Chains A and B, each alone.
Chain A
Amino acid sequence: GENVEQHPSTLSVQEGDSAVIKCTYSDSASNYFPWYKQELGKRPQLIIDIRSNVGEKKDQRIAVTLNKTAKHFSLHITETQPEDSAVYFCAASGVRGGSYIPTFGRGTSLIVHP
């Protein structure tokens, strides 16, 4: 089955700096890579996603890149703000039980200091 590794587990930055979170996956058949943001005490919510036929996607201050050959993808947040502080999860959708099912990384706790 799919295995997703996520690094770092904790990331501390100053407001205005950039933050990068990296993930690797094992199943070359995985074709969908979403990123979720979980604020303290809240549910995970999708912030951006990318499919395997695209190498990069951007939405305002956040961007995701995908390298299928190396089987890794990254989340980039520019001009970080205190409200970006949260836990971020990457996921890779590989086949499990006959359907494409997301497997999540362990999460990155991002702390943005004002």
Chain B
Amino acid sequence: DAGVIQSPRHEVTEMGQEVTLRCKPISGHDYLFWYRQTMMRGLELLIYFNNNVPIDDSGMPEDRFSAKMPNASFSTLKIQPSEPRDSAVYFCASTPQGKGNTEAFFGQGTRLTVV
């Protein structure tokens, strides 16, 4: 397996534009997490899915952020409209089926810059 795959690796966009980040979890993993990493706050959990269902989105900072998981192999994180303070590295991670409390496998991350 190629591991968790995220795209794009880098995204530069202008303030006000819509941004969509994509994630393909490891096959068979039924937990999927979206994290945001900044120097000030470290790794923050934004939302997580179990079996494609959003379970806890309390970490999503504002209504401008939304996430979907239409099937077991694909998830998106959308920011609309984007703002400069959204600039960060966004990681997707997945964990094996039925075991939320075990190693999380991270994707390479998407570095988002909003100018």
A residues contacting B by CB (< 8 A) are: 6, 31-32, 34, 42-46, 49, 89, 93, 96-107
Of A42, A100, A105, which is in contact with the most chain B CB atoms at under 10 Å from its CB? Answer: A100
Contact of A102 among B55, B104, B109 (CB under 8 A): B104
Chain B binding surface, main DSSP class: strand
Q: Which 10 A-B pairs have the closest CB atoms?
A: A100-B101, A97-B56, A106-B42, A99-B100, A93-B101, A97-B55, A104-B43, A43-B106, A32-B101, A100-B100
User: Which single residue of chain B is at the shortest CB-CB distance from A100?
Assistant: B101
A20 to B: closest C-beta gap in Å: 19
Q: Are B106 and A99 interface neighbours, CB within 8 A?
A: no
* B41-52 Cβ-contact flags toward A at 8 Å (1 or 0): 111010010100
Q: In this assembly, does B113 line the interface, its C-beta being within 8 Å of a C-beta of chain A?
A: no
Q: Which residue of A lies closest to B111 (CB)?
A: A41
CA distance A102 to B33 in the complex (A): 10
Interface centre among A31, A44, A100 (most CB of B within 10 A): A44
Query: Inside 8 A of A101's CB, which chain B residues have their CB?
Result: 33, 45, 48, 56, 100-101
Residue pairs across A and B with Cβ atoms less than 8 A apart, 22 shown, are A31-B101, A34-B103, A34-B104, A43-B109, A44-B43, A44-B91, A44-B106, A89-B42, A89-B43, A97-B55, A97-B56, A98-B55, A99-B55, A99-B100, A100-B100, A100-B101, A101-B45, A101-B56, A102-B104, A105-B42, A106-B42, A107-B42
- Taking CB atoms, residues of chain B closer than 8 Å to A97 are 48, 55-56
Query: For chain B residues 39-87, which have a beta carbon within 8 Å of chain A?
Result: 41-43, 45, 48, 50, 55-56
| A44 to B109 alpha-carbon distance, docked (Å) | 10
Give the residues in chain B near A99, CB-CB below 8 Å: 31, 48, 50, 55, 100-101
Known: A44-B43, A99-B101, A100-B100. 14 other contacts (CB 8 A): A34-B104, A43-B106, A46-B103, A46-B104, A96-B56, A97-B55, A98-B55, A99-B100, A100-B101, A101-B101, A102-B104, A104-B45, A106-B42, A107-B42
How far, in angstroms, from A10 to B41 measured CA to CA in the complex? 14
B108 at the interface (CB under 8 A from A): yes
